[in-house]
A and B are shown apart, each in its own frame.
Chain A
Amino acid sequence: MPRTARDVVFVDGVRTPFGKAGPKGIYAETRADDLVIKAIRELLRRNPSLDPARVDEVAIAATTQIGDQGLTLGRSAALLAGLPKTVPGYSIDRMCAGAMTAATSVAGGIAFGAYDIAIAGGVEHMGRHPMGEGVDPNPRFLSEKVVDESALFMGMTAENLHDRFPHLTKERCDAYAVRSQEKAAKAYANNVIQPDLVPVAVRRTNEAAGETGWGLATVDEPMRPGTTMEMLAGLKTPFRPHGRITAGNAAGLNDGATASLIAAEDVARELGLPVKMRMVSYAFVGVEPEVMGIGPVPATEKALRQAGLTIADIGAFEINEAFAIQVLSMLDHFGIADDDERVNPYGGAIAYGHPLASSGVRLMTQLARRFEERPDVRYGLTSMCIGMGMGGTVIWENPNFTEGGK
């Protein structure tokens, strides 16, 4: 049977505001599935020319697939979001790159011809489901030294990365973090972020957490505008005495959900849907789990190789900021300055938060905004490090690109 691969595009993406995990966080009394359901509904509401019955798949990622993040979340969220019962769904897990993997998986299905249009997203409610909830690592990991015991603790892997690259100092990481907060605050002031946020009604009964009753989450809770080097200098280093990783130069523990529409380009155009980004290539690559933060380097190299591009062709980067050191190690590898304006121009996870499996689509949504602003940029990438020693990178082409650009 002859088969033609089809171009795959990112049509649109939305997310809930991200919250701080914990009893006082905005989502402390909100279910994880409800977060992703509201994101899916907003995505469909924003794209009225799409008949929901045309959605061929709903792929939703969550790292901890227990309770309200379990029950084959893609399918249950589809039903609860009011999609027609004919629309199938499934759950997906690649830890931090869950939503990214949801997008690449459905993209593969679209290119293959199995789907025309799919929803890809993710959710992580780290308040209701703390990292490591219910895990049962095989004792062979340690007995056979498959991994070092630090490999299962992300903060420790980030300290390990500092060991590997002594010239990427804590000071450089703190300076990067300060810039992330500044860029995020500026993006908010310029109303770049808010148009892609889904307000979420949040109930609170715990008086210790603030005003009780129903409220509305409209902005990211973790942001700390006005952060300075001095403020960061004194923070504790919870993963090592006199270490380098602090709450200030890493993403926090967060709650949130994302959802995106991924489609075959011809179908998107036929239905009059926006085409915000065209997928060029993607790659996931494994690295030593003890330094999982280096994962984006080989993943990016592989994706570039597949696309026939070099790093010089990339005009916009959205790199997940699980840890500043992980971003800097990638930039350092490619010879890009710490403060290069192509990198995370609207700030990143250090400011907005990183609800693990949801973050991949946040990167895409922000890259799509960048493409819209910068028709002179032809290629961009979204990249992230992944627990257990992996990295993932997706390279995107800007459909708004015009040759006249610089």
Chain B
Amino acid sequence: MSDTTALLKRAHELFPDEVVTSAHVRHLDLPLGAGKFALITLDNGFDHTKPTTFGPGSLAKLSEALDQVEREAAAGEIAAVGVTGKPFIFAVGADLKGVEVLKEHSDALAIGKGGHDVFKRIAALPVPTFAFYNGAAMGGGVEVGLHCDYRTVSTGVPAFSLPECFLGLVPGWGGCTLLPNLIGPAKAITVIIENSLSQNRQLKGKQVFDLGIADAVFAPADFLEQSLLWAATVLKGETVVERPEIDRGEAWDAAVAHGRAIADSKVHGAAPAPYRALDIIAAAKDATLKDAASLQAGFDAEDAALADLIMGGELRSGIYAFNLVQKRGKRPFGAPDKSLARPVTKVGVVGAGLMASQLALLFARQLKVPVVLTDIDQERVDKGVGYVHGEIDKLQAKGRLNQDGANRLKGLVTGSLDKAAAFGDADFVIEAVFEELGVKQQVFADVEAVVSPTCILATNTSSLSVTEMAAKLEHPERVVGFHFFNPVAVLPLLEIVRGESTDDASLATAFGVAKKLKKTGVLVKDAPAFVVNRILTRFMGEIQTVIDEGTPIDTIEKGVEPLGLPMSPIVLIELVGPAIALHVSETLHGAFPERFTVSENLRRVVAAGKRGFYTWASGQQEIDPEVAALLQVGDVVLTPEQVLDRALTAVAQEIALMLDEGVVAEAQDIDLCLITGAGWPFHLGGITPYLDRSGVSERVNGKPFLAPGIASVPA
């Protein structure tokens, strides 16, 4: 038994549930009399809804296929070898489930080495090798092709990426070493680092060709036929592939430095994967394609990086976060059966301010039903409708809508002062008026007077009680909280709040609408500030307290840096708006005075009409001297480490209390909310995996939030 076989056998035993991808070898006669071609088709036996992946069993199958073509190539029976995929899918890389089960560093090392050992045999074949990227290709799927001599790509490929850094890995089956040597380090870093860290941005087929990853590009209608014809012309010498010379001098180092700047701006040094990838890319400067010996150092470094990362918390958090978004986010935990949902054929929006207008646009675009905005005077209504129509024009100008589509959407969004006429036949009315309970109660009472008894009344309140808002209504069971996050078009989270009286049909309708809006609905109890605002307010409140006690803002920034948050809490205050931050903190202070303070300094900032702590007047981020002059602080100065500890302690305590109160069903929902509503990073897994692995959970609450193996190496 060869080393590879033994390695893969062991790996397969660890992962018996793998959906094994077959590597079918079929022989065909190339056009132009170019000879016999062995074409390997990667196919897991399912249709395109279950994309082809690589686990150890799949690598073993590919290894067997290579045994065969190696023999045939050595015997001179074939002129070339190709790899392609089943319809619509090339291969989407390693099976993550196979990574999750690994417990030992040595096993993790074996996964990297096993992949390399198999893929390297493609490069080592004595005949020319081709990859035909016919469909989606990601990670290891892309890398199989990189080991080939030539590549073609279909313009129909919808998604092509090396998403490893997004999850917390490196492209470790050759990607970090081969790609920069194929297309140069700058473009490779765009794919490996920048796209991956930009919410896993995907390339389309044409871009794969433009980047130089593929040597030829063909339309999907006869992609494989044209690829094979092209291969025949290459074999006959009629087509000569010329690739640009790669600058292996300072440009290489500059590209890597630029990559580090991108990584810093995205993860702020907090996630190791992109930096490990960059180290390997930097070293790949000394390698050459087709020179196996020169590539081996890079491949070894990839194996080591993979093993370290697989055993590290960031990757486990990344996979956990990925699964939350992909699975739990699509099948909301605790939502009533969707068959209970009522159809929504018309939507009313109370208020025509900015938030209300954004909601109107979203509802019209996604539900494609009439949306009526109302407000207290015609001017406001006109302004709201005008805003929506203006946004539709912008979408059209960007090519996202054609004229018919724009006409349709504009026709859907209207304004009215007459609620009775506007809402009489609405199935769903959402209010986005001033955050004051009395005002909202009055709005709902007015709306209830004109709508059907089953029309959903939804509130976009960020901190008021949904139950109290419904209390005086004749049909309180149709009231739900429907809390969006700013910017509405960007952040996927929708906290769906069940009031005390809310019935299942109304809740199911709300979840149905959320799905159609392409939002991530999370079921939340009617508790002060729900999930994201409560945690962020506790977090920022603790930071504010530390500031008020005397720690300089610079130290605060340094303290929270290791988290790699998308923005610091100080900047976040500005984004939210100090007045709103103050309002939420007051609400929470009212509910939980012992934990939520209201900062006098924040009051002063709001009273002074300042929009934040920083100014960018000089072109750089600086503390606004006018704000600095407003602050009255103590003389307790913490170290950055102490700052982080204070903030995390507060967050861990608050989440534990929220789970005890049943604000959400499980810690997973907290993390899903923080990822989709606050953009908290995958490498933290939201936050509870990080609190667990940094020991904060144990210290503060005496136990971790998640059982071992959920977002960590299994016990």
- Mark A residues whose CB is within 8 Å of B: 37-38, 41-42, 80-82, 198-201, 203-205, 211-216, 218-219
Interface centre among A201, A205, A214, A218 (most CB of B within 10 A): A214
Residues A218 and B31 in contact, CB atoms below 8 Å apart: yes
Chain B residue contacts of A211, Cβ below 8 A: 24-27
B1-46 residues with Cβ-Cβ distance < 8 A to A are 22, 24-31, 37, 39-41, 43, 45
Residues B221 and A37 in contact, CB atoms below 8 Å apart: yes
Contact flag A201-B26 (CB < 8 Å), given A213-B41, A215-B39: no
Q: CB-nearest residue of chain B relative to A80? A: B221
For residue B222, CB closer than 8 A to chain A, the reply is yes
Question: 8 more A-B contacts (CB under 8 A) besides A81-B221, A198-B225?
Answer: A41-B221, A199-B31, A199-B225, A201-B225, A201-B228, A211-B24, A213-B43, A215-B28
For residue B219, CB closer than 8 A to chain A, the reply is yes
- 10 of the cross-chain contacts (CB-CB < 8 Å) are A38-B222, A41-B221, A81-B221, A199-B225, A201-B228, A214-B41, A216-B28, A216-B29, A216-B31, A218-B28
Chain B residue contacts of A41, Cβ below 8 A: 221-222
The smallest beta-carbon distance between A176 and chain B, in angstroms, is 30
Interface centre among A38, A42, A212 (most CB of B within 10 A): A212
Chain B residue contacts of A37, Cβ below 8 A: 221-222
Interface centre among A38, A204, A205, A215 (most CB of B within 10 A): A215
Residues A215 and B26 in contact, CB atoms below 8 Å apart: yes
Q: CB-nearest residue of chain A relative to B41? A: A213
Chain A residue contacts of B219, Cβ below 8 A: 82
Contact flag A214-B222 (CB < 8 Å), given A199-B228, A199-B229, A201-B228: no
Find B24's partner among A38, A82, A199, A213 (CB 8 Å cutoff): A213
Chain A residue contacts of B31, Cβ below 8 A: 199, 216, 218
For residue B224, CB closer than 8 A to chain A, the reply is yes
Residues A214 and B29 in contact, CB atoms below 8 Å apart: no
Q: CB-nearest residue of chain B relative to A38? A: B222
Chain A residue contacts of B37, Cβ below 8 A: 216
Q: CB-nearest residue of chain A relative to B229? A: A199
For residue B390, CB closer than 8 A to chain A, the reply is no
Contact flag A38-B43 (CB < 8 Å), given A199-B31, A214-B26: no
B173-225 residues with Cβ-Cβ distance < 8 A to A are 219, 221-225
Interface centre among B31, B40, B224 (most CB of A within 10 A): B224
Give the distance in Å from the alpha carbon of A215 to the alpha carbon of B27 in the complex.
7
Residues B225 and A216 in contact, CB atoms below 8 Å apart: yes
Contact flag A203-B221 (CB < 8 Å), given A211-B24, A211-B27, A212-B24: no
Give the distance in Å from the alpha carbon of A305 to the alpha carbon of B22 in the complex.
63
Residues B225 and A214 in contact, CB atoms below 8 Å apart: no
Chain A residue contacts of B22, Cβ below 8 A: 212
Chain B residue contacts of A201, Cβ below 8 A: 222-225, 228
Residues B29 and A218 in contact, CB atoms below 8 Å apart: yes
Give the distance in Å from the alpha carbon of A219 to the alpha carbon of B87 in the complex.
23
Q: CB-nearest residue of chain B relative to A201? A: B224
For residue B317, CB closer than 8 A to chain A, the reply is no
Give the distance in Å from the alpha carbon of A41 to the alpha carbon of B29 in the complex.
21
5 A-B pairs with least C-beta separation: A213-B24, A213-B41, A201-B224, A213-B26, A211-B26
Find A82's partner among B45, B221, B228 (CB 8 Å cutoff): B221
For residue B84, CB closer than 8 A to chain A, the reply is yes
Chain B residue contacts of A213, Cβ below 8 A: 24-26, 39-41, 43
Give the distance in Å from the alpha carbon of A200 to the alpha carbon of B222 in the complex.
8
Give the distance in Å from the alpha carbon of A201 to the alpha carbon of B86 in the complex.
12
Residues B26 and A204 in contact, CB atoms below 8 Å apart: yes
Give the distance in Å from the alpha carbon of A214 to the alpha carbon of B24 in the complex.
8
Chain A residue contacts of B223, Cβ below 8 A: 201
Chain B residue contacts of A203, Cβ below 8 A: 41, 86-87
